[in-house]
Amino acid sequence: MAKIAAPHGVGGGERRPVEGGMNSDLSWDEFRLVKSIADARSLAGAAERLGVNQSTVYRRLAAVEAAVGARLFDRSRAGYEPTSAGEDMIALAATMAASIIEFERRIAGRDVKPTGELSVTVPMGVGLHFMPAIVAQFQASNPGVIVELILSNQTLDLSRRGVDVAVRLTNDPPETLVGRRICTARWCVYRRRDTEAEADTTEPFSFIGYGDTLAPASGRRWIEANVDPGRIAAKANSAHCMLELALQGVGAALLPCFLGDRSPDLVRLGYPLPELDAGLWTLTHADLRRAARVRAFMDFAAAELQKHRRAIEGEDSSVMD
């Protein structure tokens, strides 16, 4: 079934109001925004449903209320409560949504199969660990799509049209992109189980640092704040390489939980570090969100990555006693 992608903007820019202050060309985007806030009862919940930032939802709601010339929500202890004007808009949005679902149902059997080349940028750790199987399964169902994986820890610019889809670790996706937040990626410090070191990460054991091109910046900051430079025994620009160095006993390493937990020869030093938490997103440029190959891959990849949520969020391993 075709999907209606989360929009980036409300109504595509400024509009001129008609007599009485009411906007003459409200689009489905505005109605969907208001319905999402009503369903979630919060701006944060609506932002997660729409795949945008909370600040974007706040700004877009203000623009809609200015366009219709009425307040649509009152904020209470229970959350965002629709006003009478809001109730009217929500009722119409529900009718519109039902009509869209019916339309999607009717055309689903006639939808053109996705075809063409699709470039996908992925952080190296996620790309090496999860993406080969996801791409293989996707192409088995969509043989007309040729997927190019670009494994990079650099944040590539989707606006330049060199990349179609980004699987990205971020807590603040650019407002020019649309997509879906899948889960929270977590990091922890690991060392080889049989090495002689205390569990307390403040003890002076050797450490494996990040190379110059390895993200995330938050990880660099944590190492700078918690690891004396004299304890750095090696560096690497790949999380998989850091994993292998840790397995060789070179030192402890700060790794994503889905990598560190997979090896029985490594042990966690403490709990995952909340200051390093980052959202895992599938994103694309707003101009590409309705392309069949883009929509199909993003839906498929998000569903498959969601199956690995426990591993990505570090819930599949117990900490060292």
DSSP structure class, residue 131: H
pLDDT for 266-315, tens place per residue? 999 989 999 999 999 999 988 888 888 999 999 999 999 999 999 999 98
pLDDT for 63-76, tens place per residue? 999 999 999 999 88
Number of domains into which the chain is organized: 3
Q: Give yes or no: residues 258 and 299 share one domain.
A: no
Give CA–CA dist 242/234, Å, rounded. Answer: 9
- Is residue 143 assigned to a domain? yes
Cβ atoms of 115 and 143 within 8 Å: the answer is no
pTM, full prediction: 0.61
Q: Give yes or no: residues 177 and 196 share one domain.
A: no
Per DSSP, the residues of 22-84 read --S---HHHHHHHHHHHHHTSHHHHHHHHTS-HHHHHHHHHHHHHHHTS--EEEETTEEEE-H
Q: Give yes or no: residues 229 and 290 share one domain.
A: no
Task: Output the domain CATH number for residue 59.
Answer: 1.10.10.10
pLDDT for 186-234, tens place per residue? 999 999 988 754 444 445 789 999 887 665 678 888 998 999 999 999 9
Q: Which domain holds residue 165?
A: 116-185+277-312
Q: Look at residues 82, 110, 138 and tell me which one is the last residue of a structural domain.
A: 110
Q: Given this model, what pLDDT does residue 315 score?
A: 87
φ/ψ of residue 79, rounded to 5: 120, -155
Q: Give yes or no: residues 137 and 192 share one domain.
A: no
